[in-house]
Amino acid sequence: MGGLADLRARLRAVVLRRMQTDPAHDLAHLNRVWVNAQAIADEHTNQRVLLAACYLHDLINLPKDDPERHLASKQSAAESEPILAEVGFSTTEIHATQHAIAAHSFSANIPPETPEARILRDADRLDALGAIGIARTFSVSGALGRALYDTTDPFGASRPMDDLHFSIDHWKVKLLRLPNEMLTEKGRALAQERAARMVRFLKDLSDEIDAPLPPDWANL
């Protein structure tokens, strides 16, 4: 049985062949989630399970506007079983990895019950924040044909948030709230740092488009 480097190489080869990608969910995303997970994990973490969960959690990747998107994590967990068996995982390891994969998605409504599941959820959400989070937001919004912001009221000072049409609205609806939803102490600290970077960007943006940023955006 090889070490983590060998396992990572084998899993990367699998996802390159099988994973359906979009601008925000590709091999680069999986690499970043693994880096994030390592930053959160400690000496008690099962690194093999965590590594496999990081690289197989988006095997089934449905578009954000797909009505069955909430099923994607469960489908990814199911698809992972023969792959995990092929790379030599025990039944216990397979079940642990599948749980982490299935529970990583908030919309799946599966409580993460293991350290690896909690770490994966936080690591995946960290990739929606910070500099890479800014890039991913606009990349996905462009692919979906969404505007950057409402030109008449960019930050929703006097209108309801509408992140189905305006990219920046998604920050207030979801992304800037993520730090408070993190499950690990390290994940929460990293998320707070990254969210602060996004708020600094918003302040620069508000200056450039001549629209004041409401104070509550920085205190979500």
Q: In terms of CATH architecture, what is 4-112?
A: Orthogonal Bundle (1.10)
Q: Are both 4-112 and 130-218 of the same fold?
A: yes
Report the alpha-carbon distance of residue 162 to residue 72 in Å, rounded. 24
The residue that leads in pLDDT, 61 or 29, is: 29
Tokens 């207030």 label which residue?
Answer: 172
Report the alpha-carbon distance of residue 174 to residue 172 in Å, rounded. 6
| Helix extents (H) in the chain | 4-18, 27-40, 47-56, 72-86, 91-103, 115-126, 130-144, 167-173, 185-209
User: Would you say domain 130-218 falls under CATH 3.40.50.11540?
Assistant: no
CB 107 within 8 A of CB 70: yes
Structure tokens belonging to residue 178 = 């993520």
Q: What is the mean pLDDT of residues 9-25?
A: 84
Structure tokens belonging to residue 219 = 């205190």
Q: What is the pLDDT of residues 142-175, one digit of tens each?
A: 888 899 999 999 999 999 999 999 999 999 999 9
Q: What is the pLDDT of residues 84-133, one digit of tens each?
A: 999 999 999 999 999 999 999 877 788 999 999 999 999 999 999 999 99
Return the domain boundaries, the chain: 4-112, 130-218
The per-residue pLDDT for 1 is: 47
Could you tell me which residues come within 8 angstroms of residue 62 by beta carbon, excluding any fewer than 6 positions away?
Answer: 68, 69, 71, 72
The per-residue pLDDT for 61 is: 80
pTM of the model: 0.91
The per-residue pLDDT for 68 is: 64
The per-residue pLDDT for 220 is: 65
